[in-house]
């Protein structure tokens, strides 16, 4: 359990730097800081999806809360405005904890007010529960909703276009601010609503300003709900896009959600880190139409093909969630076009985007891992094999963006102005990390895909296909070792493009050692590890570029251009600890000493779970010490690869 006492809660800088996240299994979420103040445009009590898992809209930004006591009103909320903090409810906050969802405890003398917030799994609904202790008698609690009704990526300002009408009925209040958006209905168990339309102006979001983006917003409040709260009693407010309230009472819903999350940990070891990552993994598995997908990261990423496939073994296979794994694979198999899975499904909806050279190869890898974990040949034959065969056929013959197998059996691709590998930052026309040609990890994945397809073909009773894929794997391996080994540096070139060789030290070469079918000659593995450990390894992941390189950027900060300049030019990515750990075990063996060393390498993440995105793992860290966490507060493949290492690599018996 993650919990903070009054010393941390009263420290505004600390309390606004620590963020919580709740998700609904549809792609929607709620998020904020432990202080109650919002610091991002993405913070809110209800971010719901209109077309799961995309078209995310922030409906309910927050609830302003006031207690009315004999001595006068007491503000419990905290807001950041331009040049001011008001009210200062954090000064009344004596405890914040994830139990397992966000729980705040406020104190006024002996009085204690506890607030709990969670989302209903599978529903665009947020539940808030309030209960009172230590009071001499009943107190009045005033709740004022602040509404946004906007696309989650944008900000709203005071305007005259909104509909101020409030529909009030027994136990419910409904708001429909703008045409084209669904109504938000607030269900309550007791209270009186007073309509009073007000604009709250100039909320300040410092995290947005620090990112070089607009950071001021106006929010609309339609009025206040006043409830009488007695000691030992609980009151609720349920806000939903659904027109009818949940079938069960809020306390029963809370108990069911606690039980659901507890059940997720059944397959986990007693280790709290593994248990926490197992619960965190659940947040990324979401519905897509009638299928299932993977959100790449919260709060701003959609479902990206590369991230979904690279994350699937850790998120679903290692956790025994085989039905969800099959559903994710089937979702992407159905979307294969010209041999490519979608690079991403756009936030605004519409057709998928195809723009990655490696996502389809991660798809082949994930399908093989699914078969290895489940033995479900029928699922592969029925749901996946036709799409897999299409992937391989188009990559050999050629597909979009010049992606094709060259005469030497290696995969090449790219055109000027495009970024097709996972190192895909682009600002305007500037491709920050151009890697046109034959990228090292792409060809490690291509060789691995050929070997995987041989196994999948054999399992499906197609020996001729299997033989063809084995032959392709042999040709690729021979050419890879001839072209990619840099004897002078003792590691692999990062990209080979005709006669050009990119000798920059990057972590991508680890996949040539760590994938189930490693393409690099075994004699070179120790040298690759030595170079990676010398130049790239940090306590929180691997740098994307060696610090001695002229293009290295050690801090990920500033405006979008400055940040993208560091994104793959020095920033540390935790997910890369997965390939690194697997490579270490292959090179040095599964001895007690090696396993203990890798477990020690993961220790910093125990503290990290309570640092930024509480209970989850950040997208990236600064390349320079002290390696400050950056980017998304919860990233799928960060969580997935750490979990895979704990369960798959380190969960097996060790040698003496």
Neighbour tally for 474: CB within 10 Å? 14
Q: Is there a domain that residue 656 lies in?
A: no
* Closest C-alpha to 45, from 113, 129, 117: 117
Mean pLDDT, rounded, for 449-459: 98
What is the per-residue pLDDT for 1?
77
Last residue of a domain, one of 217, 244, 260: 260
Same domain (yes/no): 240, 365: no
Quick one: 216 and 305 in the same domain?
A: no
Domain co-membership, 185 together with 301: no
Asked, for residue 471, whether it belongs to a domain, the answer is: yes
Q: In this structure, is residue 654 part of a structural domain? A: no
- On whether residue 81 sits in a domain, the answer given is yes
Does residue 210 sit in the same domain as residue 346?
Answer: no
When pLDDT is cut at 50, 70 and 90, the band that residue 71 belongs to is confident
Kindly write down the DSSP assignment for every residue of 341-404, as one continuous string. --SB--TT-SS-B---SSHHHHHHHHHHHHHHHH--HHHIIIIIHHHHHHHHHHHHH--GGG-E
Q: Give the C-alpha separation, 283 to 264, whole Å.
A: 11
If residue 132 lies in a helix (H) or strand (E), which one and from where to where? Answer: strand 125-133
Task: Encode pLDDT of 262-321 as tens digits.
Answer: 999 988 889 999 999 999 999 999 999 999 999 999 999 999 999 999 999 999 999 999
Per the domain annotation, does 114 fall within a domain? yes
The answer on 387 and 288 residing in a single domain is yes
On whether both 539 and 422 belong to a single domain, the answer is yes
Start-to-end CA distance of the chain, whole Å, equals 34
Average pLDDT rounded to a whole number, residues 356-364: 97
Q: How far apart are CA 85 and CA 430, in angstroms?
A: 39
In the numeric block, which tokens belong to residue 236? 């609720």
**Average pLDDT in the 496-509 region?**
97
Report, as an integer, the average pLDDT of 554-569.
95
Q: Taking residues 121-127, what's their average pLDDT? A: 97
370-427 per-position pLDDT tens digit: 999 999 999 999 999 999 999 999 999 999 999 999 999 999 999 888 899 999 999 8
Upstream peptide bond of 53 is cis (omega within 30 degrees of 0): yes
Distance of CA 582 to the CA centre of its chain: 22
Domain that holds residue 183: 3-260
In the predicted model, what is the mean pLDDT of the chain? 96
Q: Kindly state whether residues 131 and 44 are assigned to the same domain.
A: yes
Q: Looking at the domain assignment, is residue 93 inside a domain?
A: yes
653 pLDDT band, cuts 50/70/90, is: low
pLDDT at 268: 86
Q: Tell whether 279 and 298 lie within a shared domain.
A: yes
pLDDT of 652: 63
User: How many CB atoms within 10 Å of residue 22?
Assistant: 25
In a domain, residue 107? The reply is yes
Domain of residue 611, CATH code? 1.50.10.10
Residues 496 and 350 in one domain: yes
My answer on whether 507 and 472 are in the same domain is yes
Bridge partners, 48 (sequence order): 57
- Provide the β-strand partners of residue 409: none
Answer yes or no: is 368 within a domain.
yes
> Is the predicted pLDDT of residue 654 greater than 60, yes or no?
no
- Domain endpoint, select from 260, 289, 320: 260
Beta-ladder partners of 78: 88
- What's the rounded Cα separation, in Å, for the pair 629 and 41? 19
pLDDT score for 43? 98
User: How many separate helices (H) and strands (E) can be counted in the chain?
Assistant: 19, 37
456 and 544 within one domain: yes
DSSP for 486-548? ETTTTEE-SEEETTEEE----GGGGHHHHSSS--S-GGGHHHHHHHHHHHTEETTEEESS-TT
Number of domains the chain is built from: 2
Which pLDDT score, from 0 to 100, does residue 351 have?
87
Q: Which residues pair with 32 in a beta bridge?
A: 20
What percentage of residues in the chain have a pLDDT greater than 90? 93
Where a domain ends, among 206, 225, 260? Answer: 260
Do the beta carbons of residue 480 and residue 410 sit within 8 Å?
yes
Please provide the DSSP assignment of 186-232 as one string.
EEESS-EEEEEEEEEEEEE-HHHHHTTS--EEEEEEEEEEEEEE-BT
Residues 51 and 131 in one domain: yes
Q: Are 80 and 203 in contact (CB under 8 A)?
A: yes
Looking at residue 139, which CATH number applies to its domain? Answer: 2.70.98
């Amino acid at each position: 359990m993650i919990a903070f006492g009054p010393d941390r809660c009263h420290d505004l800088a600390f309390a606004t730097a620590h963020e919580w996240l709740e998700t609904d299994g549809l792609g929607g979420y709620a998020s904020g800081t432990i202080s109650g103040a919002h610091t991002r445009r993405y913070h809110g009590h209800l971010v719901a999806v209109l077309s799961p898992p995309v078209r995310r809209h922030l409906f309910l930004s927050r609830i302003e809360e006031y207690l009315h006591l004999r001595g006068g009103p007491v503000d419990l909320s905290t807001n950041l405005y331009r040049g001011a903090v008001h009210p200062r409810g954090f000064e009344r906050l004596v405890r914040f904890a994830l139990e397992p969802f966000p729980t705040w405890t406020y104190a006024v003398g002996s009085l204690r007010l506890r607030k709990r917030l969670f989302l209903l799994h599978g529903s665009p609904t947020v539940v808030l529960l309030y209960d009172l202790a230590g009071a001499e008698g009943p107190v009045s609690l005033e709740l004022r909703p602040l509404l946004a009704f906007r696309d989650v990526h944008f900000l709203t300002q005071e305007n005259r276009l909104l509909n101020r009408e409030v529909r009030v009925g027994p136990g419910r209040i409904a708001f429909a601010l703008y045409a084209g958006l669904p109504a938000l209905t607030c269900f309550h168990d007791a209270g009186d609503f007073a309509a009073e339309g007000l604009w709250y102006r100039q909320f300040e979001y410092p995290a947005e300003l620090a990112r070089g983006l607009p950071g001021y917003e106006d929010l609309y409040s339609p009025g206040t709900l006043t409830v009488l709260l007695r000691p030992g009693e609980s009151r609720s407010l349920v806000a939903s896009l659904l027109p009818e309230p949940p079938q069960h009472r809020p306390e029963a819903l809370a108990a069911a959600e606690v039980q659901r999350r507890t059940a997720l940990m059944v397959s986990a070891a007693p280790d709290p880190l593994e248990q926490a990552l197992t619960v965190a993994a659940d947040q990324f598995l979401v519905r897509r139409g009638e299928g299932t997908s993977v959100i790449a990261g919260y709060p701003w990423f959609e479902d990206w093909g590369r991230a979904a496939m690279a994350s699937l073994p850790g998120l679903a296979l290692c956790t025994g969630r085989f039905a969800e794994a099959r559903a994710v694979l089937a979702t992407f198999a159905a979307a294969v076009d010209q041999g490519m899975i979608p690079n991403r499904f756009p936030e605004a909806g519409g057709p998928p985007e195809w723009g990655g050279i490696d996502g389809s190869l991660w798809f082949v890898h994930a399908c093989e891992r699914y078969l290895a974990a489940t033995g479900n040949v029928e699922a592969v034959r029925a749901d996946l094999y036709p799409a897999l065969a299409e992937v391989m056929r188009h990559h050999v013959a050629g597909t979009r963006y010049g992606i094709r197998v060259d005469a030497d059996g290696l995969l090449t691709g790219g055109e000027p102005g495009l970024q097709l590998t996972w190192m895909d930052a682009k600002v305007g026309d500037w491709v920050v990390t151009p890697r046109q040609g034959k990228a090292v990890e792409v060809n490690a994945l291509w060789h691995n895909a050929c070997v995987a397809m041989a196994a999948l073909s054999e399992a499906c009773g197609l020996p001729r296909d299997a033989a063809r894929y084995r032959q392709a794997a042999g040709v690729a391996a021979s050419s890879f070792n001839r072209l990619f080994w840099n004897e002078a540096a003792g590691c692999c070139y990062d990209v080979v493009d005709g006669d050009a060789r990119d000798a920059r030290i990057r972590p991508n070469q680890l996949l040539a050692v760590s994938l189930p079918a490693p393409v690099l000659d075994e004699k070179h593995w120790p040298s690759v590890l030595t170079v990676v450990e010398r130049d790239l390894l940090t306590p929180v992941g691997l740098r994307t570029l060696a610090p001695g390189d002229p293009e290295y950027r050690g801090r990920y900060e500033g405006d979008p251009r400055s940040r993208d300049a560091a994104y793959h030019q020095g920033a540390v990515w935790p997910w890369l600890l997965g390939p690194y750990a697997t490579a270490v075990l292959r090179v040095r063996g599964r001895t007690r000493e090696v396993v203990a060393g890798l477990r020690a390498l993961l220790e910093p993440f125990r503290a990290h779970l309570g640092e930024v995105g509480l209970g989850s793992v950040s997208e990236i860290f600064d390349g320079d010490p002290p390696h400050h966490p950056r980017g998304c507060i919860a990233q799928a493949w960060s969580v997935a690869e750490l979990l895979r290492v704990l369960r798959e690599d380190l969960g097996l018996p060790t040698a003496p």
